[in-house]
Structure 1
Amino acid sequence: MTAISYDSWVSTPARTVAPRTRLRLTRRGRVVIAVLVALPLVLALISMALNGGGATATSGASTVTTVTVESGQSLWQVASMIAPGSSTADVVSDLIAINNLTSASVHPGQQLIVPDRYVD
């Protein structure tokens, strides 16, 4: 049998562990990271502002129907002429609202916008 001897001056190499380093960002690096994170948010906000949120109110060709008040006509008479089958009080209320009238008085030659639900 053979004996194996180790001399004291021969040693096995110790395992070296690499020191853990922290990630250190320079000022420029922090600015780059901040810009990269904020860029998609800024682009989304700009696109929504330019697009108006994506809501559209038009559904095709739009026409506005008006009626001209004749001499001696009241708003009540105009309302009953526009929508004979509807409640005249409701039509008068709608005419006041859509035309931004402060009262129910109208004068000859005045043009009133007719709400779409009363147009045939």
Structure 2
Amino acid sequence: MSTLSISPAFVAPRFSRTPQATVRLTRRGRVVVFLAAMALLLLSAFFLGSVAVGSETPGQAQPTEIVMVGTGDTLWGIAAELNADGDVRSTMRTIERLNALDSVALSAGQKLRVPVRDD
């Protein structure tokens, strides 16, 4: 049996290894990069998200009436009086939307715009 060994014919000379320059960010640099990325993200979301939604035909206003809130009245009670089919929650949401209410708290003497009654 014969043994065969392969050795490379050309060996590249080894140069002295100098450390390669690497980019190192300081804490301030990381904050700047982070803030720049967030600003870019917010700007792109603002410009891509600001799409006008509209139609050629105008919408019709919902018929409403004004109701004076009495002592002890609640939004639930007012919505229950207005609604004949029993869907009080949707009527409450409609009243909140019509009057731009932040909460369901009402005060006596307050005027509310409510949908016309379902008689």
Higher percent of residues as helix: 1
Q: Which of the five TM-score ranges fits, normalised by the shorter chain?
A: 0.3 to 0.5
TM-score (normalizing by structure 2): 0.45
Greater Rg over alpha carbons, structure: 1
TM-score by length of 1: 0.44
